[in-house]
Structure 1
Amino acid sequence: MTVVVLGIDALDPDLVGREKYPNLTLNQFERIETIVSSAGDPSTHELWPTIITGKKPDEHGILLDDGVAWESSLLKTASRVSDYAIPDSLQTRLGAWLLNNTSQDAFRIPATYYEENGLSTVFDEAVAEVIGVPNYVTDPDSEDREHQLRRRMGDLFERDPEAKGGHTSSDVAEFYEMCIEMVMIRIARVRRAVRSQQNQLVFGYTSGLDLIGHVSHDRPEMQRQAYEEIDQFVGELLDDLTDKDVLILVSDHGLQDGLHTEEAMISSTDPDLLANISSVTGVRNVIESSLGHRSHQTGSRWSDNEQEDKTDNQVKSHLEDLGYM
């Protein structure tokens, strides 16, 4: 049995509905409160560490700095200098320029940060596969296709603090296709991890829906199409699950008219799990509750039972050859 968590950045409770997107709402979905950052809106940078620890940003210590995630040494240095030398408005523009014009990417804090700072996570007590969760990087030296695409978007997705949605795109149609590819790859990786039968917990994440939302504020049909396609992808993931598995979808915030909203959502194939959740800080408890009251067996997809059947047949054949059967 496997608990499967798929984080869909910016999945908005106002934009889903059971009749329109049954695979996004599953058997039960709930609106949950999110947390607003110092920049004035919910931040991916802060919220996924909150989701996996159950702690608020000021407790886990991974904080947004004036609307820009300053993970790299270059960005951190610029942040320290700009605190003294550059007004706030220009500091935000500097951060946007650095993210647009360097190969650095956000959300790359290593998983070792949590142990080093005495923080427990939902992954600590389970055999877990972690796929792309922001600011929980298990191997800082590797990257998958979603990360490669996000880092190499260039002018297809540029930060612009003065634009609606905070970003612009030189070619929205091409950008949409890139984002959908990102979603497909991450969900495919989740499906592969489920099929391996090696994990008690599979926790994957994709940012494609959020990225599309930021540049489609004047193209609502594009955001609707993204919801339709992702609903289909989640349906394919559901086909991989057994009756004993559970799927949980969770977002860090919503997104409408190009801007983050202050309400997130969670859905599950097990409605009982969502009875008492009201905030993103409660997602960890939901996952651990699901892990706690289910029995787990891990093993190869090429199971021991299959090997035992093969051995039984070999023994039977050998006995027949000897005339005992």
Structure 2
Amino acid sequence: MTVVVFGIDALDPEITERESHPHLTLSDSKKIETIVSSTGAPSTHELWPTIFTGLRPPEHGLVLDDGVAWESRALQVGSELSNYLLPESIQTKLGAWLLDKTSEDAFRVPATYYQKNRISTVFDGIEAAVIGVPNYVIDPESEDREHQLRRQMGELFKRDPEGGGRHTSENAEEFYEQCIEMVMIRTARVRRAVRSRQSELVFGYTSGLDLIGHVSHNRPELQRRAYEETDQFVSELLSDITKDDVLVLISDHGLQDGLHTDEAMIASTDPELITGVSDVTDVREAIETELTDGDHSAGSRWNTQETTEMDGQVAEQLEDLGYM
């Protein structure tokens, strides 16, 4: 009835193991190729638009070397001056860092960007619930708890100037709890959208696992723990998936030793869905094929009263946690 896609930033195929993480590997999983940005590493800013459009970054236009990297509010005042003071190559790398690594209000390209530029997406022409997906912002004035936590990191997430792109935290345990809260709230929002049975496609995203990975190069136990907890969150999401639904987990890249790796991952409850997916540009087609071939119209065979009661339970949990 519903295709559910949960984007887990930096879910690494080399770390995810079937025995240890049965819910992250689902019925079948595999590594897929990703795309390296102008900075020499895969970029969240570029890759999620690739995943939901099927286009490479130069084709969808959201690339790190075209000035988009300087759209952070923190740089708007000084960007004109920087054009005179900094070489273009340094501007690109610094802008990329701000987009990919800090608590600035990044990844906020509005959904209207694609309409204005006549770029089709997997969300077009269907009932879709889009939850926190980078660079597809339906309401730029709204934000949820993950957005708030990301902007409030401060000293908890700092770039290590001598770490080759790695990060440090003044309180790794506190930082870990914030990031796991991100994963929890986004999982809960996806679960609620699934339970409502109002959408053909539910597409959610969380960056918590990625952020934890960036500070785990000297605390590997934090990354291991994060995978275990994320596996448990996905197990709870699976409790809402019926035999007629399909769940897909997708990442934009991996992350080891504090740095992005050049391999992404896909997993699904339907092994056939991922058969033809070899890289991130193939994901959209696989989702659309499932939407076309399966019966994923909005509405449900579920009993309306049962669905309403289950949806209310999730809402109550969010309210108890202070998120609603």
TM-score tier (shorter)? 0.7 to 0.9
Q: Percent identity?
A: 68
Unpaired stretches in structure 2, ≥5 consecutive residues: 309-324
Residue 148 (structure 1) aligns with: 148
CA distance in 1, matches of 2:205, 2:228: 18
| 1:279 aligned partner | 279
Given that 1:70 and 1:106 are in contact with CA atoms closer than 8 Å, whether structure 2 keeps it comes out as no
Which structure has the larger Rg?
1
> Which amino acid is 1:143 matched to?
E
Per-residue deviation, residues 153-183 of structure 1 (Å, max 9, x unmatched): 1111123454344322111110000000000
Q: What is the match of residue 175 of structure 1?
A: 175
Query: Matched residues in 1 for 2:215 and 2:40: separation?
Result: 19
Q: Provide the C-alpha distance between the structure 1 equivalents of 2:59 and 2:44, rounded to a whole number of angstroms.
A: 16
- Provide closer, same or farther for how the CA distance between residues 79 and 37 of structure 1 changes in structure 2, counting only shifts above 3 A: farther
Q: Could you tell me how far apart the structure 1 residues matched to 2:212 and 2:193 are?
A: 26
Which residue number corresponds to residue 299 of structure 2?
Answer: 299
Aligned length: 306
Q: 5 Å matches for 1:1-325?
A: 1-65=1-65, 69-72=69-72, 75=75, 78-87=78-87, 91=91, 95=95, 104-299=104-299, 303=304
| Contact in 2 for aligned 1:39/1:66 (Cα 8 Å) | no
In the alignment, the residues of structure 2 paired with residue 28 and residue 124 of structure 1 have an alpha-carbon distance, to the nearest angstrom, of: 27
| CA distance, structure 2, for counterparts of residue 182 and residue 192 of structure 1 | 15
The Cα offsets for residues 213-262 of structure 1, whole Å up to 9 and x where unpaired, read as 00011111110110000001000000011100000000000000000000
User: What letter matches 1:244 in structure 2?
Assistant: D
CA distance in 1: counterparts of 2:103 and 2:156, whole angstroms? 15
Cα 1:154–1:115, aligned 2, differ >3 Å: closer, same or farther?
same
Distance 1:10 1:113 in 2: 25
Larger deviation, residues 246-255 vs 60-69: 60-69
CA distance in 2, matches of 1:125, 1:6: 20
Asked if the contact 1:39–1:67 (Cα under 8 Å) also holds between the matched residues in 2, the reply is no
Structure 1 range deviating more: 271-280 or 293-302: 293-302
SS at match of 1:260: strand
Residues 195, 307 of structure 2: 8 Å contact kept: no
What is the rounded CA distance, in whole Å, between the counterparts of 1:73 and 1:251 in structure 2? 27
Quote the offset at 1:94 in angstroms. 6.1
Q: TM-score, normalised on structure 1?
A: 0.87
Secondary structure of the corresponding residue to residue 249 of structure 1: strand
- Root-mean-square deviation (CA), in Å? 2.7
